[in-house]
Structure 1
Amino acid sequence: MDTRVKIRDSVRGVIEFVLRRGHLDDRYMGKNRALEGTLAHQKLQASNATIYKNYEKEVKLEREFYIDNIVLNVEGRCDGIIFENDLVIIEEIKSTFKSLIFIEEEYNEIHWAQGKFYAYIYGEKNALSNISVRLSYYNIETNEVKSFDKVYELKELEEFVYNIINEYSKWVKLKGKLNKERDVSIKSLEFPFDTYRKGQRELALNCYKTIKQKSMLFAQAPTGIGKTISTIYPSIKALGEGKGKRIIYLTAKTITRTVAEEAFIKLKGKGLKCRNITLTSKEKICFKDKVKCNPDDCEYAVNYFGKANEVVFEVISKEKNISREIIEKYAREFKLCPFELSLDISVWCDAIICDYNYAFDPRVRLKRIFEADGSENIILIDESHNLVSRAREMFSAEIYKSKVLLVSRLVKGTVPTLYKSLYAINKELGNIRSEVQELEKNSIYNKEEYNELYRLLRVALKEGDEYLVRGVGTSAYEDVLDLYFDIRSFLSVAELYSEEYVTLVEVDKSEVRVKLFCVNPSKNLANVVRESYSTILFSATLTPLNYYIDLLGGNKDSYRMTLASPFKKENFEIYGYPLNMRYNQRAGNIESVCKLINKFINEISGNYMVFLPSYDYLNKVYEKYVELYGQKNTYLQGEMLNEEEREVFISRFRVESQITAFCVVGGIFSEGIDLPGKRLIGSIVVGVGFPRISKEGDIIKDYYKDKGFDYSYVYPGVNKVLQAAGRVIRTEEDRGRLLLIDDRYFNNKYRGLVPKEWEIKRY
């Protein structure tokens, strides 16, 4: 039996890690880091297929290297292999917006290094004495190509590759040692509690089976089961058996990240040896007042790549629970950007706890984790009901005419080429506005793409790229940079445009908004979740299950399970009052709603939350309630609260207090907060949680046709109601009550959407 530790890594990952040098500098993102445009690769590959008789694209190459008792498997896909006469050419394609005039042969050492590494693997496997490497730069704007060729002897390539591997071996040895320790600890690791709660063992077992079969599971598991530990524990056990390489725990909220951290700490208390890291957003973890990642504005960016590797090595060697505090400690000590340091450390960790966007958002996705090595990820998606709206957001993008006009005015007379390109965009947006106005409408949406707008945006991106290099310190710099990233975002989403998208244009006087709206995010999500080793999506509210499977990248082969609440039904009393709360009736029912609220909270004294359908209606109901019953012991949720204000709001819910908090359903206090025992004894939900009527909502309704109204309004609404109701009963000892004010809770459709154990008594 082979007892050697096996480690897999990508060609790109090894090369970039070993050869990176210099400062951290996001000002030059467009100039110095070629954009890997999938469409550009495909165009050049298609062209090569017609030019060369013998041509292969996306060729998988891999090679094993033996380092002590470790087998390092380095793999990747080279963009193309050309067979011409007696010569084999390994082609590496890089796409860019930069003018090809400024790209010379030695433009980027790392690009050549990737090509040379692939050439060595192919040349050795096929016993070639020499082989050619071609580096082709494809200009996305002009479709021009500039190529450089170099012929290498296999011996020369071998020396180069082994120099890279030798430098990398220190890391491989450390990772091998840590993996061995981890796997030994996992073998004897037991569930960290004496007993399983009702439904908990079933959830853990199904998670393990799903991972073992490299499949996908949608699990609705109510509050109280212990979803976090029930998904992390089986994932850890699977990891110890060589199933997957790392666990990615995705969540939408800070509090659920904390619960995941605590689960790992609990398991380590039982003997687990592993490294987990929590990623904090750049804006939150940055040491400076304003995020400016460059050596002129931030001392933590200076020579970042020259210092980072040794610091990462130290962190991985010494630390186990790599929290925000740990990252900040090392970042301050060695003067390194804390955000970038956390990303570099994450590559070497067994588990990463982070926000959804690091996995799915095409603009900020962790390429080193989800593209180069995605097939080794065990993905756990907590509170996955939130992913539907977040995914639509992540895969959509928009451009505003006012912003383009502002920047064009700022650069007029000083940057003529950039001004000219922005003027052209502004004019094109004006033409689009005229099209809408001719129809005597304020908005239109269709399946059309504005290709001329795309072309002009690419020109502006190129001009902005040049300006951002030489215009540092000028008055317009920050505004240009902001618009530059808006345009980049818009064009990156344009590459994803498909049948699942529509183009929405909204006009308000002189303003024009063009939005590429992702109506159905399932295809884009599936590209990530189905590429993973296994994906588990779980939440207390995935009702109806088929709706979430349809929208979150699942299919008919995805596993699914629904668990009943572990709590006694008699501990949760549920009432319904049949008041007509449809939009056109709710304004006339404000006084009736206030009377019902007052009656309900006075029957049993304690702390209550009242959830209203919108901020506008919330304010009107609260104003009337205070007029009728006074303001004492009542609190109103503000529309824009920072973290400190949220904490103050929640801190008022004490065991001995008797307060009533008026909140909005679907807001920050209707999910993700934990108020056990007498800190919250009841909730009142007014309405059925319908999202605000919007153009996007109506587009979703039209897109899904017969299912449209349910998909855009009913199901998201019910989910909000279930989340709000879930704040009341948090433990087996809790007792609580719920009042639902809306006559729709008494019809068969809504009865079928709420939990089976709910017995709604007429109030």
Structure 2
Amino acid sequence: MSNKIIIKESVRGIIEYVLKTGSLDDRYMGKNRALEGTLAHQKLQSSNEKIYAQYQKEVRLEQSFDIEDVVLLLEGRADGIIIDDGSVYIEEIKSTMKSLVLIDEDYNDLHWAQAKFYAYMYSLQNQLDEINIRLSYFNIETEEVKSFNKNFKFEELKEFILYIINEYKKWILLKSNLNSIRNKSIKNLIFPFNTYRKGQRELAISCFNTIKEQAVLFAQAPTGIGKTISTIFPAVKSLGENRGERIVYLTAKTITRTVAEEAVNKLKDNGLICRSITLTSKEKICFKDKTKCNPDYCEYAIDYYDKVNDVIFDILNDDTDFTRVKIEEYAKENKVCPFELSLDLSLWCDVIICDYNYAFDPRAKLKRFFEDDVDKNILLVDEGHNLVDRARSMFSAEIYKSKIMQASKLIKGKVPKLYKALTSINKELIEVRREVQELEVNSMYKKDQYKDLYKLLRIFLKECDEYLVKSVNTEGYDEIRDLYFEIRSFISISELFSDKYVTLVEINRSDAKVKLFCVNPAENLAKVVQEAYSTIIFSATLTPINYYIDLLGGNEKSYRMKLPSPFRKENLKVYGHSLNMRFRQRENNIDNLCKLINKFKEEQLGNYMIFLPSYQYLKQIYERYIEIYSDKDTICQQEVLTEREKEEFINNFQDGANILAFCVIGGIFSEGIDLPGNKLIGCIIVGVGFPKISNEGDIIKDYYEEKGFDYAYIYPGINKIMQAAGRVIRTEEDKGRILLIDDRYFTIKYRSLLPKEWDINR
């Protein structure tokens, strides 16, 4: 066995791959209830523990199968094993919204197939000649159970299992061959550049060693080191030594996904042979006007499961680089859904490039990678500083009273039970609103939950199930369906509620919003960060690093490193002016600020960006500046821009243009924009980047007590400053200048947070 290649697969995965047929259909059918499904399992398992003296739940089973020079290791978890009066039962539990009257013994062959695998494994390990399978359906609404028992001879089970294994054989041999070719190419793979930049080798070695130890690394590596290739290269080398099974490169922005693709392609140009894929959201890659995945609306959904395996087999034999463009081409050629094709194809890929939400968002994450197989992932989290706010958003949820009222009006007189449920929710939200009004404020938060509201929301979900199945294409259906999923999301997040959360209520005239706000996302993130094979979180701005370790799921065992800039210190001149830019003084300093801006840009001609603390102040400064100095060679960022307008804005930065661009700090032009050489020679940063004062910000401040103001405002602000400043020097040849305008930059606090190599000239 040791001389053979070992390939691990899940029982459920292999069953679905071999036996699943039919079309894609995302129309509501009352069955997409993962949360309730888990609860259903727990309830029935608890009941069985009381009934049977010999009962085990969630029993892990595995069995190996020799297929030529490959060992297939199948893993799974039986919901329950019952030993009653000498008879052994393997129980498979399935939750359903369907009336149990409509479910018979032959309801779903895949359910029996999965249980047969577990029965075979258990029988083989315990030398049983026969065994029983109990398939139990648990109705979530009524909590009734309907079970079917079947007795199987061991030889009968063996025949079935060998049939499935034989059907899957070509896939196992394909995967073995692809992995063998990949590993041989990795063995001879060298770093794709002749020399390492300053700090680049140290980062690559630290990543490799972290993966080797199956640990977590937080790395601050400035712009110019080449972070992307320095993390992907050691991760690829680790795959070649059978550490982890795939690399998942997580990003926050499209531009960084492109950089990751380029890095992988650079390695491929140097001899790497591996499968890589970039996942694109359903909304962007869908061929239809609306993302409605069902055979009545979309021709690409028809018979998807009957076609997709052959399509993937052919693709894997022909190609290794699966970009959005290629996936769309394959999907059109074979008339299959491009989004689902990309997800199914990703199962066979060595490098997966995708957005954060595929890994972390409980409402969107890929369960195939981040629940079932999370321990096989080497995670590379790019621009890790962005994950703090994204995580708070992903693990929070909210509902609005106005949406409840709107839904009530749509179904009034049509669906009495549903209308009654919505009316009850509305009354409860009126009481919540009154609670805030009595305090004579517009908002309040508490550390406990409105559990009475949760009960009413669950009643709505229950009543809505029948409506959504029976009322398709009726007036108001889409609005009720959207509200249903919003409330489901709210209830799902409520299951995560802990001392890391608060309930925030905000009122605006007659409307009220109840938000489950995740103040500290660390615990939720840690479930992926810590359970992965290894995780590397990196960015040019992870200052202070303990703040990010604290919030992004790290712990005292997490490694940390901070690399200095690879560029010569004299290439960047940093200046400071102690003008008071606190909120209350901004209005008084408009003319003084305009003079400073003009003076700085006149000292050395070239293209400059000015970063201001808000859109409102941006508008004031720009209008006053052009009033004093004219609008010649000036451009101003608008609050809402199309993709084309963003490109046009950036295209203004050409050699010799002498453009003065007024932008907002933390906006789209202060991060991820690459303007090397003379395209940008300087930036002026006004203020210290504080996030806008908000209820959420003040909640964070209160939550972290003595560290609160730093965590809520100072550290996120410094991050914005560093990102904006990072636009100026992009290559070893670049020279530039920065002007920091705020008296706080000269305090001990801020000097300790700014780069040590910055000598601020007054």
1:525 Cα offset (Å): 0.5
1:35/1:96 contact within 8 Å kept:
no
Structure 1 residues 33 and 143 mapped into 2: Cα distance closer, same or farther (>3 Å)? closer
- The answer to whether the aligner puts 1:318 opposite 2:318 as a matched pair is yes
Query: C-alpha separation between the residues in 1 aligned to 2:686 and 2:569?
Result: 22
Partner of 1:741: 741
1:696 Cα offset (Å): 0.8
- Residues 320-339 of structure 1 correspond to what in structure 2 (within 5 A)? 320-339=320-339
Structure 1 residues 91 and 494 mapped into 2: Cα distance closer, same or farther (>3 Å)? farther
Q: Percent identity?
A: 66
Partner of 2:186: 186
- The answer to whether the aligner puts 1:174 opposite 2:179 as a matched pair is no
Structure 1 residues 656 and 105 mapped into 2: Cα distance closer, same or farther (>3 Å)? farther
Q: Which residue identity is paired with 1:721?
A: I
2:29/2:469 contact within 8 Å kept:
no
Partner of 1:236: 236
- Residues 218-367 of structure 1 correspond to what in structure 2 (within 5 A)? 218-367=218-367
Cα deviations by residue, 1:357-399 (Å, 9 ceiling, x for unpaired):
0000011110111111111100000000000000000011111
1:38 Cα offset (Å): 3.9
1:23/1:302 contact within 8 Å kept:
yes
1:143 Cα offset (Å): 4.8
Query: C-alpha separation between the residues in 2 aligned to 1:64 and 1:707?
Result: 52
1:10/1:373 contact within 8 Å kept:
no
Partner of 1:116: 116
- Residues 392-471 of structure 1 correspond to what in structure 2 (within 5 A)? 392-471=392-471
Cα deviations by residue, 1:389-441 (Å, 9 ceiling, x for unpaired):
00000011111111121122112222333222222222222222222223333
Query: C-alpha separation between the residues in 2 aligned to 1:624 and 1:293?
Result: 52
Q: Which residue identity is paired with 1:282?
A: K
- Residues 258-657 of structure 1 correspond to what in structure 2 (within 5 A)? 258-657=258-657
Partner of 2:758: 758
Aligned residues: 762
Partner of 2:661: 661
Q: What's the C-alpha RMSD, in Å, of the aligned pairs? A: 1.7
1:13/1:372 contact within 8 Å kept:
no
1:552 Cα offset (Å): 0.4
Structure 1 residues 667 and 202 mapped into 2: Cα distance closer, same or farther (>3 Å)? same
SS at match of 2:753: coil
Cα deviations by residue, 1:713-760 (Å, 9 ceiling, x for unpaired):
110110010000001000000000101111111001111111111111
Cα deviations by residue, 1:549-583 (Å, 9 ceiling, x for unpaired):
00000000001000000000100000111111112
Query: C-alpha separation between the residues in 2 aligned to 1:503 and 1:612?
Result: 32
Q: Which residue identity is paired with 2:573?
A: E
Structure 1 residues 90 and 497 mapped into 2: Cα distance closer, same or farther (>3 Å)? farther
SS at match of 1:628: helix
Cα deviations by residue, 1:128-180 (Å, 9 ceiling, x for unpaired):
22223333444555555444433332222222222222222221111111000
1:199 Cα offset (Å): 0.4
Query: C-alpha separation between the residues in 2 aligned to 1:217 and 1:670?
Result: 26
Query: C-alpha separation between the residues in 1 aligned to 2:643 and 2:116?
Result: 50
- Residues 670-681 of structure 1 correspond to what in structure 2 (within 5 A)? 670-681=670-681
Query: C-alpha separation between the residues in 2 aligned to 1:450 and 1:112?
Result: 41
Q: Which residue identity is paired with 1:547?
A: Y
Partner of 1:688: 688
1:97/1:462 contact within 8 Å kept:
no
1:608/1:660 contact within 8 Å kept:
yes
Gaps of 5+ in 1: none
1:247/1:350 contact within 8 Å kept:
yes
1:73 Cα offset (Å): 0.8
Cα deviations by residue, 1:448-504 (Å, 9 ceiling, x for unpaired):
222222222222223323222222222212112211211121121112111211111
Cα deviations by residue, 1:17-49 (Å, 9 ceiling, x for unpaired):
222222212122643676564444444433433
Q: Which region of structure 1 is more displaced relative to structure 2, 62-71 or 739-748? A: 62-71
2:29/2:468 contact within 8 Å kept:
no
Query: C-alpha separation between the residues in 1 aligned to 2:102 and 2:493?
Result: 27
1:35/1:94 contact within 8 Å kept:
no
Query: C-alpha separation between the residues in 2 aligned to 1:638 and 1:389?
Result: 23
Cα deviations by residue, 1:86-106 (Å, 9 ceiling, x for unpaired):
122223333455555555444
Cα deviations by residue, 1:588-616 (Å, 9 ceiling, x for unpaired):
22222111111111111111111111111
SS at match of 1:58: strand
2:252/2:356 contact within 8 Å kept:
yes
SS at match of 2:63: strand
Q: Which region of structure 1 is more displaced relative to structure 2, 244-253 or 608-617? A: 608-617
Q: TM-score of the superposition, structure 1-length normalised? A: 0.97
1:200/1:227 contact within 8 Å kept:
yes
Q: Which residue identity is paired with 1:65?
A: F
Q: Which residue identity is paired with 1:5?
A: I
1:11/1:76 contact within 8 Å kept:
yes
Structure 1 residues 487 and 109 mapped into 2: Cα distance closer, same or farther (>3 Å)? farther
Query: C-alpha separation between the residues in 2 aligned to 1:344 and 1:241?
Result: 25
Cα deviations by residue, 1:695-716 (Å, 9 ceiling, x for unpaired):
1111111111111111111101
Structure 1 residues 453 and 115 mapped into 2: Cα distance closer, same or farther (>3 Å)? farther
SS at match of 1:62: strand
Cα deviations by residue, 1:246-276 (Å, 9 ceiling, x for unpaired):
0000000001100100011110111100000
Partner of 1:197: 197
- The answer to whether the aligner puts 1:697 opposite 2:694 as a matched pair is no
Query: C-alpha separation between the residues in 2 aligned to 1:141 and 1:451?
Result: 19
Query: C-alpha separation between the residues in 1 aligned to 2:598 and 2:26?
Result: 55
Structure 1 residues 30 and 357 mapped into 2: Cα distance closer, same or farther (>3 Å)? farther
Q: TM-score of the superposition, structure 2-length normalised? A: 0.97
1:62/1:73 contact within 8 Å kept:
yes
Structure 1 residues 595 and 139 mapped into 2: Cα distance closer, same or farther (>3 Å)? farther
SS at match of 1:564: coil
